[in-house]
Structure 1
Amino acid sequence: MSRRVALLAALVVTMVAVVVGWQVTDDPGVAPEPPRPSASPTGEPSSSPTPVRATPPPGPDGGACYRLTYGEAVAPTSTRSPVACDREHTSATYLVGELDTVVDGHLVAVDSEEVRGQVSSACPDRFAEHVGGTEEQRRLSVLRPVWFTPTLEESDAGATWFRCDVIAVARDRQLAPLDGRAAGALGTPAGQARYGLCGTAEPGTAGFSRVICAEEHSWRAIRTVTLAGPDYPGEAAVRTAGEAPCRAAGRAASADQLDFRWGYEWPTARQWSDGQTYGLCWVPDPA
């Protein structure tokens, strides 16, 4: 092996980070010469270019509508393009806000617990204002808030927005088309009827599943039973708590005060952890 080749091999092994910018001579006794600064046309050394920060990508439109699947609606990010709100769509944006990604003086990731907490608070708070109605009417509907943050790539490019959408759950893992942007929908009898929570059979029977009242159904949820305590009280306690109020709701909804039917659906431990800390009273409602 020649002396020049041997020297290059040693440099590759021990000085990988600097080989590219250094000249290697045939004489191993001559020290490599560091690179000289490039010269401008005037003969003066040129300075390094000032780095330019990329412009953050634009955020979503605060009044946009989208045609999302159920899986896309419950994902943390969305890359779907909006559609016209007068065309069929399954989600509508009611709030676009700015994330605070600096916590206690430190920059945190867009998918961090601190940032997710900001969005999971802001979107439900504004949801009530957007769809209208009382808390009871919102609980008795299939309208739900969902939210999105930038992808990691968008966040790395400087995006700091968050987006809140309203959706209507038609049935298990399926969305229903929205009427416009659903603004104020639960503040009107027509909106309450369209987006109400109904069932395909008597609660507790084999054929029962929750559906939007705009679809074919035979039972309707008409009242909620608020359950006390931050922790799940246990199945026996939540089952007993709803019997009297749901019986009264069934009697009030029936033309025959002596012969009427009613049902009660209490939350499971998992539903409780997901935020449903109330039971539902049901009555027959032939469509």
Structure 2
Amino acid sequence: MPSGRHLIVAVTAALLMSGLSACSDDDKNSRVDPAQVDAVEPPELGACRVLTPNDVGKTNNATRTLDCDKPHTAETFAIGTIPESIAATGYKSEKLGLWAYKTCATRFEKFLGADESLVMRSIVSWAWFRPSEKAWKDGARWYRCDVVGGGDQAKAYVNLPATAKGLLGSGKPQDKWMVCAQGASVAGSVKVPCSQKHEWRAVTTIKIGKDEDKYPGDRMAEVRTREFCSDSVGAWMNYPVDYDYAYTWFHEAEWKAGNRRSICWARTPE
């Protein structure tokens, strides 16, 4: 292991970032499309919307669609039918949530043209929606996956291009789509696009377990992450004599959902 100052930080999976696009409560009603509220028919693939973090926190969504050439913060990249065996477990069951996580996550990577590591180091994320409870009772079993311009704890989302398809897959991704941190440490810092002034950059991810492995426990997951990120960041920086690194590791809930990776950060003031 290379020598250096080791800044060890454990933070949660959610990535904060500054954003520009949001909607006020004043136009909340005008944002809703009555035809979508209790729709039994599947939503439109490729549709764009102006979603907010508040929208993403809900189980279903009926925000009006708009022309994708206009400013928008979300794009539907996958739709389909929930398998009956999964739907039978219940409208808000854990099995349904895990199935949706794996389904949307896999299709998300393909849509962006990136692998899991690159996706985890970007500012974009995804959300999924199901029918309203009324539509569910009426037999609706569709799901909808949307790419959104921000992470789980973002206060607002940034606008996306006309389509986010292939956003991370054309050579080296633009810094405006990659995540950096602004602050003395990664923990509690403001997460920003790397095109903005920052002190930290998410440079690699480390897989700390195999798909079939059981969760090793919080302490062991952190220890593995710390050791791997020390080496990984050192290699990324070409083994300098002195360097700072940090890491983001995840917990049992994310492990059960299929995540086996931790994010490694390098101090790279820019």
Q: Deviations over 1:79-120 (max 9, x none)?
A: 11112212221110011212344x49xx94871536555534
Q: 1:149–1:216: structure 2 CA closer, same or farther, 3 Å change rule?
A: same
Q: Distance in 2 between matches of 1:277 and 1:118?
A: 16
CA spacing shift, 1:110–1:150, aligned 2, 3 Å: farther
Residue 84 of structure 1 pairs with residue 87 of structure 2: no
Please tell me whether the aligned partners of residues 169 and 212 of structure 1 are also in contact (alpha carbons under 8 angstroms): no
Deviation at 1:192, TM superposition (A): 5.2
1:210 aligns with 2:191: yes
Match status 1:166 vs 2:166: no
Cα deviation digits, residues 23-77 of structure 1 (max 9, x gap):
xxxxxxxxxxxxxxxxxxxxxxxxxxxxxxxxx7543211101111112113210
Partner of 2:26: none
> Which structure 2 residues correspond to residues 128-147 of structure 1 after superposition, within 5 A?
128-147=109-128
Distance in 2 between the 1:179 and 1:148 partners? 22
1:24 is matched with none
Tell me which of 240, 249, 263 is aligned to 1:280. 263
Counterparts of 1:145-184 in structure 2, within 5 Å, are: 145-169=126-150, 172-174=153-155, 175-184=157-166
Secondary structure of the corresponding residue to residue 72 of structure 1: helix
Q: Is the 8 A contact 2:201 2:268 kept in 1?
A: yes
Deviates more, 1:68-77 or 1:107-116: 107-116
* Equivalent pair of 1:171/1:209 in contact (CA under 8 Å): no
- After superposition, the Cα gap between the structure-2 partners of 1:87 and 1:167, relative to the gap in structure 1 and judged at 3 Å, is same
State the 1:252 CA deviation. Answer: 3.6
Q: Report the TM-score, using the length of structure 2 for normalisation.
A: 0.70
Deviation at 1:242, TM superposition (A): 3.2
Q: Which position in structure 2 is the counterpart of 1:245?
A: 228
1:111 correspondence with 2:95: no
1:138-157 CA distance string (max 9 Å, x none): 22223323211111223344
Q: How far 1:130 moved relative to its partner?
A: 0.6
Task: Pick 1 or 2: higher relative contact order, CA cutoff 8 A, min separation 6.
Answer: 2
Query: Deviations 1:165-219 (Å, cap 9, x if unpaired)?
Result: 11232572333322233111121345352222211224455x5243343444221
Determine the C-alpha separation between the residues in 2 that align with 1:141 and 1:218: 16
How far off its partner does 1:224 sit?
1.2
Larger radius of gyration: 1
Q: d(CA) in 1 for partners of 2:99 and 2:261?
A: 25
Distance 1:93 1:221, change over 3 A: same
- CA gap of 1:235–1:195, structure 2 versus 1, over 3 A, is same
Cα distance in structure 1, aligned partners of 2:121 and 2:62:
31
2:240 is paired with a residue whose SS is coil
Letter in 1 for 2:209: A
Is contact 1:220-1:283 (8 Å) kept? Answer: yes
Give the conservation status (yes or no) of the 8 Å contact 1:221–1:283: yes
Comparing 250-259 with 137-146, greater Cα deviation is found at 250-259
Cα pair 2:98 2:257 within 8 Å, conserved: no
Q: Distance in 1 between matches of 2:181 and 2:117?
A: 18
CA separation of 1:202/1:254 partners in 2, compared to 1, >3 Å: closer, same or farther? Answer: farther
When structure 1 is superposed on structure 2, of 215-224 and 269-278 the one drifting more is: 269-278
Percent identity between matched residues is 25
**What does residue range 189-228 of structure 1 map to in structure 2 within 5 Å?**
189=171, 191=173, 193-203=175-185, 208-228=189-209
Q: What are the ranges of 5 or more consecutive residues in structure 1 without an aligned counterpart?
A: 1-55
CA contact (8 A) 1:172 1:210 kept: no
How far 1:231 moved relative to its partner? 3.9
TM-score calculated relative to the size of structure 1: 0.66
Contact 2:74 2:160 in 1 (8 A): yes
Count of equivalent residues: 228
Mapped partners of 1:76, 1:168: distance in 2? 19
Structure 2 gap segments, 5+ residues each: 1-38
